[in-house]
Structure 1
């Protein structure tokens, strides 16, 4: 078995491209190996700050053979009356470099059928690697040189090998070789003897190509620091991944900042150190002034540590100044400054947005029938929920929006429940009731406002994150089990921006509800479609979906499905539900009507209690009565009044089922 290597060397990759390149290399390598008919025992992908590539293990000597088939002329044109090949057939064979031995007859046509032998892998891999490199997509590609080439970053070298042999490959005007390069300023060119010794060779040049090995190396150094110092480092996965993405030889460095900055709120310190310097803060019972960072390379750490300390102290000094200045201003005054900050040009200022959030929050409190005293807390929190945006700390550290609002509110002696809600309403999973109400109101206002001014997301573009905001609304409603009308809330919010609830906005929310059911709750596609019309009351739609999902795996599902299907199919084009029982002629009509009234009362009471599982069990009771009805009653009689009356009666049953879901979308399950 053979091993192949591809390494693309380029200028420093942006960290934002790291995971995308990693994913694409994995997916496209598998796709191309299949397309080129090459089996591989395993595919290793690697991405570093100055290189990425793949190692293909356990490759065969050749591609797999395949049978080539090509359709030719009809038999009556391919052969003359004597069965001899015509010019048409001869031309077909000549054009395809084939002979009569390769011809088969099928379905009235001539087919060319022949086994094509696979080529040696060293002949195929250059094309595969070229397709792989050129098939990657990037968020922001760039051009270099004369502008002839476009890629994520300028490419400087290509290594392409199978075993110890260099492949004949040229990309971006560069020919492949066995020469790679080590850590800049610490190592020069490195000759790769063969793919098996690729990682080992680069380590001599202070490069750990494997991102998995780099991550392991980072974690081992953190563990060693903790054992040596007796301190603890929070394993911030996001920060660790970023360090792995921007380094090729991460080495730990330890420094400290001035202890006076420990007087600052912990959130400010962590943000200044983590987000702005990609460093960890050490803990020993409480936060310490010790930080841990990672340099890229083997150079002595002294100068690196001094550089980190100088920058971190400067950032914290700025933060302390801004924090002290903010403490001189109340949240109420900060709130007034929102009048000078534009939210969106056609939607007014942030102050205008806060006023809308207050009104939507109040409407939501009314819908939830919350006590007046609690509603006042909600409105107080709503009135200052965006005030910290006008603060100096948030201007300098935008990541602290909401966090600083809570901190400043507590400093002013504002009720802790209200202060917590200021931060909580930004969360995708708010933990408090007030935060949840503000979270819904804020997101509804943003979504409705953007639709009102034409900022409508598409399948590929959503610059304002409206899809995520809609998903969070559904998540909050489910978590709090709030039986509210989202449609009414949207209508109310629309009126605040002089906008009418449009079909476009309804379609957007229906689509997001469908995705929410599938992606977050694991509901099957057919069940999600069946309840999608219930998005207007999301909690009911969610409960119905969960109940249908559960019953779909049980034997009684067939009774439910068939009962609805027979009624729905015959009434789907009928609108009226007005009927007269006195016109019923058959005993089966009267029996179904009586059972319907009995079941309807039970179903409506169950739905009022939000017990959709119970409602479904009651609906199943209709099945034998529906069967008897259709076995003995002919609905589509010629007599108009009788036909319409029967359709109208059945429409009532159909609508009762539809309160739980449109079961025409459900896929019949095979019961074991």
Structure 2
């Protein structure tokens, strides 16, 4: 068995390219080997900033032979007295075999002619040589480029190729590359290690590059960086701020990681902790160090007592240059923090209310006015939300004030330089100016959640402003006529819809989104005088969009697709879904628990049967009371009376839209399954579609009431058994 190595050597790759390219490369290689009938013991893909590498273990000397059988004409047409006819000769030509190689076999339709095609396997080296260019050309990524005079495209110019099958070079030339790039056994080590690196055999790749200053395994580099940072932070009695995104980026920025501890001047701890950590993490790729047990106040004006005057840096340099690298990084960080201090001092010289007025000079989006216009629309939304949620007192006052000032920091110098700090700086500036802490916190929180898995607003005013901000965005962009499509969502409307739902769920607020959309849509045309806004279309489009967000979030929470369809499906009345999104979520998770406990199937069978027959009647979907539509004098069987008693017991449960009510309704449906089944089957069963029109209508009415009562919980018709 053989080992194969492919190394694609490039100029410095973007840090995020490997994360996206390696899964593609592994899938391409694996599928190609399967298609080419090449067994193997495993495919491993790795990368450094200057290379992608594939190692394939356990390859055979050649492909398996291919054997294919083709069915031809009936034997009676193919041969006359044992002599091939034109039909047989034509079939043999198409198959590439002589007529005397044709076989006659019995089939269920009689004797037919068959041809057996055998294709001997090619050598593994030849197969790999034909596959390698396709693997490289099929990789996808952002901002691919051409170089030299050729037409070859890649993330960065390809400078060398290593292709080895054990010790043998697999000859390959990259099509479209000019200057030409052909395979060999010469690689390159760390940039500070001069000269080429010769790979003697595929199995010696990692150790050969290690000797040239390259830790070729991406997983090993990541593990080394994580462990080294944890050890260094422990020695300093600190907590390292190392999110997974930063760890991945550091892993893809270095070929031989070297951990360096740097210092920052203690005077910079007078800056907010978020400023220091943003400059270090987002802009310099350093790892900030927090004091163990320190409480981080999101509105604190200084990092003193929270951050250590130290940071960790992962360098790609050599150990002998460690002191020089440390001084260079400290100098760069000192300059960045000096800029941040200047921006903060300049911002504090301007009142936040004056910055709010400056928003009038910044366009929000074409046709939607300025950022100040947007804030005024948000203020209108806040008033509507406070009324709908029946919020009064200090929370309402703080929410209104926070909305009025929530975007002022967008024209601050600090946020202009560090956009990641929007909201954070706004809240800190307001608190420093004497605004109530609740107002400042709401300004900070109204951007939450920023994405999947992010924290949600913890304060009532913050949650109100956050919902108002997302509601305004959805209304304005939809009124403008733009919609998310496929992967295109430039205004992050899906994220806004998700955040709106998540905040309502987290707060436990009952908010009738349908009524809210009706009110907002009718008023929005007056808020956007430059646009022609159809209130009805705006309401309908947004209602369907929010239904999709609701269904998507339920799926992300682990609900199976049929359960999501049963509580938030497109066939359900949109008004009920949006009347209380928390109610939809609650019912979905109740169904999931019933399924886990294997209690759902019995109820589903009876209710689904009743719903299917009820469609032949004309009972409205909102009728839950059997007394209003069922005439007991028309009963002919005891099972009808039993059914009526069940419907009477279910009625109060179906009208109680609470957690306890839904659980009780589900239990009552489960306990009544035998009585309901007796209506259809057994000695006392009835013929629903009776010849007597009155009896038939009476029985259909009972089934319709049962369908409506069960539909309060879910649309059982879409559930999978």
Query: Which residue does the alignment assign to 2:300?
Result: none
Equivalenced residue count is 665
Query: Which residue does the alignment assign to 1:184?
Result: 191
Deviations 1:125-151 (A, max 9, x none): 223333322221112222222351222
Farther-moved stretch of structure 1 (328-337 vs 279-288): 279-288
Rounded to whole Å, the distance in 2 between the matches of 1:196 and 1:337 is 64
1:249 aligned to which of 241, 256, 259: 256
Deviation at 1:59, TM superposition (A): 2.4
1:125 aligned to which of 118, 124, 128: 128
Rounded to whole Å, the distance in 1 between the matches of 2:695 and 2:3 is 79
CA separation of 1:609/1:148 partners in 2, compared to 1, >3 Å: closer, same or farther?
closer
Deviations 1:316-335 (A, max 9, x none): 12211110121122222222
Name stretches of at least 5 consecutive residues in structure 1 with no aligned partner: none
1:218-297 matches, within 5 Å, as: 218-223=225-230, 225-226=232-233, 233-283=240-290, 286=305, 287-297=307-317
Query: Which residue does the alignment assign to 1:198?
Result: 205
1:127-166 matches, within 5 Å, as: 127-146=130-149, 148-166=151-169
CA separation of 1:192/1:475 partners in 2, compared to 1, >3 Å: closer, same or farther?
same
**Contact 2:653/2:662 (CA < 8 Å) preserved in 1?**
no
**Contact 2:517/2:539 (CA < 8 Å) preserved in 1?**
no
Rounded to whole Å, the distance in 2 between the matches of 1:283 and 1:539 is 38
Deviation at 1:166, TM superposition (A): 0.9
**Contact 1:436/1:476 (CA < 8 Å) preserved in 2?**
yes
Farther-moved stretch of structure 1 (542-551 vs 469-478): 469-478
1:384 aligned to which of 377, 402, 405: 405
Q: CA RMSD in A?
A: 2.7
Rounded to whole Å, the distance in 2 between the matches of 1:459 and 1:617 is 41
Q: Verify: 1:554 aligned to 2:597, yes or no.
A: yes
1:316-331 matches, within 5 Å, as: 316-331=337-352
**Contact 2:285/2:313 (CA < 8 Å) preserved in 1?**
yes
CA separation of 1:363/1:619 partners in 2, compared to 1, >3 Å: closer, same or farther?
farther
**Contact 1:543/1:610 (CA < 8 Å) preserved in 2?**
no
CA separation of 1:175/1:523 partners in 2, compared to 1, >3 Å: closer, same or farther?
same
CA separation of 1:61/1:495 partners in 2, compared to 1, >3 Å: closer, same or farther?
farther
Rounded to whole Å, the distance in 2 between the matches of 1:504 and 1:628 is 45
**Contact 1:563/1:620 (CA < 8 Å) preserved in 2?**
no
Farther-moved stretch of structure 1 (570-579 vs 318-327): 570-579
CA separation of 1:559/1:196 partners in 2, compared to 1, >3 Å: closer, same or farther?
same
Query: Which residue does the alignment assign to 1:505?
Result: 542
**Contact 2:457/2:503 (CA < 8 Å) preserved in 1?**
no
1:545 aligned to which of 575, 588, 592: 588
Query: Which residue does the alignment assign to 1:14?
Result: 14
Rounded to whole Å, the distance in 2 between the matches of 1:5 and 1:496 is 65
1:618 aligned to which of 668, 679, 694: 668
**Secondary structure, aligned partner of 2:313:** strand
Deviations 1:138-167 (A, max 9, x none): 122222223512222221111111111111
Rounded to whole Å, the distance in 1 between the matches of 2:195 and 2:12 is 16
Query: Which residue does the alignment assign to 2:298?
Result: none
1:269-668 matches, within 5 Å, as: 269-283=276-290, 286=305, 287-298=307-318, 300-428=321-449, 429-432=455-458, 433-498=460-525, 499-500=535-536, 501-519=538-556, 521-533=557-569, 535-536=577-578, 537-572=580-615, 574-577=617-620, 580-582=629-631, 584-587=634-637, 588-605=639-656, 607-609=657-659, 611-631=661-681, 632-637=685-690, 642-668=695-721
Query: Which residue does the alignment assign to 2:32?
Result: 32
Rounded to whole Å, the distance in 2 between the matches of 1:5 and 1:436 is 55
Deviation at 1:278, TM superposition (A): 1.4
Deviation at 1:7, TM superposition (A): 0.8
CA separation of 1:148/1:644 partners in 2, compared to 1, >3 Å: closer, same or farther?
same
Deviations 1:463-500 (A, max 9, x none): 22222222222322332233322333333443443343
**Contact 1:540/1:610 (CA < 8 Å) preserved in 2?**
no
Query: Which residue does the alignment assign to 1:94?
Result: 93
**Contact 1:68/1:113 (CA < 8 Å) preserved in 2?**
yes
**Secondary structure, aligned partner of 1:300:** helix
CA separation of 1:228/1:636 partners in 2, compared to 1, >3 Å: closer, same or farther?
closer
CA separation of 1:84/1:554 partners in 2, compared to 1, >3 Å: closer, same or farther?
farther
Rounded to whole Å, the distance in 1 between the matches of 2:370 and 2:214 is 51
**Contact 1:187/1:206 (CA < 8 Å) preserved in 2?**
no
Deviations 1:585-632 (A, max 9, x none): 424434323321221212322x23464332211223443343333343
CA separation of 1:314/1:610 partners in 2, compared to 1, >3 Å: closer, same or farther?
farther
Farther-moved stretch of structure 1 (372-381 vs 42-51): 372-381
TM-score by length of 2: 0.85
**Contact 1:62/1:120 (CA < 8 Å) preserved in 2?**
yes
Rounded to whole Å, the distance in 2 between the matches of 1:218 and 1:191 is 28
Rounded to whole Å, the distance in 2 between the matches of 1:584 and 1:484 is 44
CA separation of 1:66/1:603 partners in 2, compared to 1, >3 Å: closer, same or farther?
farther
CA separation of 1:230/1:562 partners in 2, compared to 1, >3 Å: closer, same or farther?
closer
Rounded to whole Å, the distance in 2 between the matches of 1:335 and 1:128 is 60
TM-score by length of 1: 0.91
**Contact 1:531/1:541 (CA < 8 Å) preserved in 2?**
yes
**Contact 1:78/1:110 (CA < 8 Å) preserved in 2?**
no
CA separation of 1:575/1:419 partners in 2, compared to 1, >3 Å: closer, same or farther?
farther
Deviation at 1:288, TM superposition (A): 3.3
CA separation of 1:216/1:373 partners in 2, compared to 1, >3 Å: closer, same or farther?
closer
**Secondary structure, aligned partner of 2:252:** helix
CA separation of 1:83/1:149 partners in 2, compared to 1, >3 Å: closer, same or farther?
same
**Contact 1:273/1:280 (CA < 8 Å) preserved in 2?**
yes
CA separation of 1:61/1:483 partners in 2, compared to 1, >3 Å: closer, same or farther?
farther
Deviation at 1:419, TM superposition (A): 1.8
Rounded to whole Å, the distance in 1 between the matches of 2:214 and 2:35 is 33
Deviation at 1:337, TM superposition (A): 1.9
Rounded to whole Å, the distance in 1 between the matches of 2:654 and 2:494 is 34
**Secondary structure, aligned partner of 2:549:** helix
Deviation at 1:253, TM superposition (A): 3.4
CA separation of 1:622/1:270 partners in 2, compared to 1, >3 Å: closer, same or farther?
same
Deviations 1:153-187 (A, max 9, x none): 22111111111111122223422111111223532
Rounded to whole Å, the distance in 1 between the matches of 2:470 and 2:691 is 55
